[in-house]
Amino acid sequence: MRALSIGAVAKATGVKVPTIRYYEDVGLLPTADRTTSNRRSYDETTVRRLRFIRHARDLGFSVEAIRQLIDLSDQPDHSCGDVDSIARLHLADIDEKIARLTALRTEVKRMVDEGAHGRVADCRVIEVLGDHAA
């Protein structure tokens, strides 16, 4: 496994250099190995983890939720009860997010379709997502 500089990791993941350092600060990434001249040195594992963090953040998961998901992944031998309850919690959250996104998708799609025919009628994006509250 070859060593990667922080810049190379940034390029590979789309996560900015200062953000990578920040994730280390707050414990989302383990303390990085250093070269003799004190530069951070990474491998592919970090690249994968960073991509995960980026996508999860983009999907609206909090840093704390991501920390939990990473822990689940990191510790396959973790107590089964823990894994199960945490995973179930996130599963419910994920299902809700998918349902809302799908509803929103339908409405935005409808607007695009109607736009194509030159008529933009009653846009109901707000009703659609709003009703999913309750």
Can you name the residues that pair with 33 across neighbouring β-strands?
A: 41
Among 13, 20, 23, 28, binds a copy of itself (CB under 8 A): 13
Q: Which stretch binds DNA (CB under 7 A): 10-18, 68-76, 110-118, 120-128?
A: 10-18
Among 57, 63, 65, 67, binds a copy of itself (CB under 8 A): 57
What are the b/e assignments for 49-81, b being 16+ CB within 10 Å?
A: bbebbbebbeeebeeebbebbbebeeeeeeeee
Q: Which stretch binds DNA (CB under 7 A): 1-9, 92-100, 103-111, 126-134?
A: 1-9
Does residue 80 interact with a copy of itself by CB under 8 A? yes
Is 42 exposed, middle or buried, given 0-12, 13-18 or 19+ CB atoms closer than 10 A? buried
Q: Any alpha helices (H) in the chain, and if so which ranges?
A: 6-13, 17-25, 44-58, 63-74, 80-116, 125-131
Q: Which two tokens stand for residue 109?
A: 């799609």
Does residue 19 interact with DNA by CB under 7 A? yes
x/- mask, DNA, residues 37-56, rule CB under 7 A, reads: xxxx----------------
Among 21, 34, 39, 105, binds a copy of itself (CB under 8 A): 105
> What is the C-alpha to C-alpha distance for residues 62 and 86, in angstroms, rounded to an integer?
14
Q: Could you list the residues that contact DNA (CB under 7 A)? A: 5-8, 10, 16-19, 21-23, 26, 32, 35-40, 57, 62-64
